[in-house]
Amino acid sequence: MQGVRKLRGLGLLLGVTALSVLSIAAADAQTATSTADIIEKLAVDGEADIDIAALRQQAADRIKARADAQPQKRPPIAPQLTKLPQVRFDVVFDQDSSLIRPASYQTIGSIADALTDPKTRPYRYLIVDHVESAGRRDHNLILSQRRAESIRDVLVNTFKVSPKRLLALGLGEEQLQDVNRPPSPANARVQIIAIGKFETEPPKPATPAAAPKSGAAKKKR
């Protein structure tokens, strides 16, 4: 009798485990973004006049002046970025570091596949990294810039995306994505934003052959 009860208990446990695995798999399927979805969102002309250096300086000046100390009341540094075609995704870094964890290379690879598709090749993109509100704001700004550059480096060096098509910007905690919950991991998501057409340099015209000089010496007979 006890053996039967044990078997029944084991069967129930296996059933619950199977349901849990199926539920997790279903959730992952719902949250996963396919390369096709990324292409559809990014293969759009998001022409914008963005001064990356000015945005960095503006964020640094605001922190230095200790303005908007409360994260919930902090206005976004670059609200125009929210209106452009974009995709948000998660990249896992080492703690307080710009070193990307190996598990995130698959995500970055999906982004690279999308960026090398013929539909997206005509466009340039801005990689924007954010950090949740914790610790020092000035440190977070520097850290997020390094992380944005790390993602760009992986796209360029590992996945061979043209460096001329990618810019990197770190905004730290100066443009929270979930203002109501400043410490939330949602505020550490990365954006890749379409910022306009990628203009290749026109081919240089062929140098015309030099005209013979007048009065050239006649050949000796």
Q: Compute the distance between CA of residue 44 and CA of residue 25 in angstroms, rounded to an integer.
A: 31
35 to each of 32, 45, 111, 115, how far by Cα in Å? 10, 18, 7, 9
- What domains does the chain contain, in order, with CATH numbers? 48-197 (3.30.1330.60)
**Residue (of 160, 220, 196) closest to 84 by Cα position:** 196
Q: Compute the distance between CA of residue 19 and CA of residue 16 in angstroms, rounded to an integer.
A: 5
In the sheet that holds 86-89, the strands lie side by side as 86-89, 190-197, 123-129, 166-170
Confidence of residue 200 (pLDDT cuts 50, 70, 90): low
Per-residue confidence (pLDDT) for residue 11, from 0 to 100: 46
pLDDT tens digit sequence for 9-21: 444 444 433 333 3
Per-residue confidence (pLDDT) for residue 188, from 0 to 100: 94
**Residues above pLDDT 90, as percent of the chain:** 62
**Residue (of 156, 130, 125) closest to 143 by Cα position:** 130
Confidence of residue 212 (pLDDT cuts 50, 70, 90): low
- Residues paired with 197 in a beta bridge: 123
pTM of this prediction?
0.76
DSSP string, 134-152: -S-HHHHHHHHHHHHHHHH
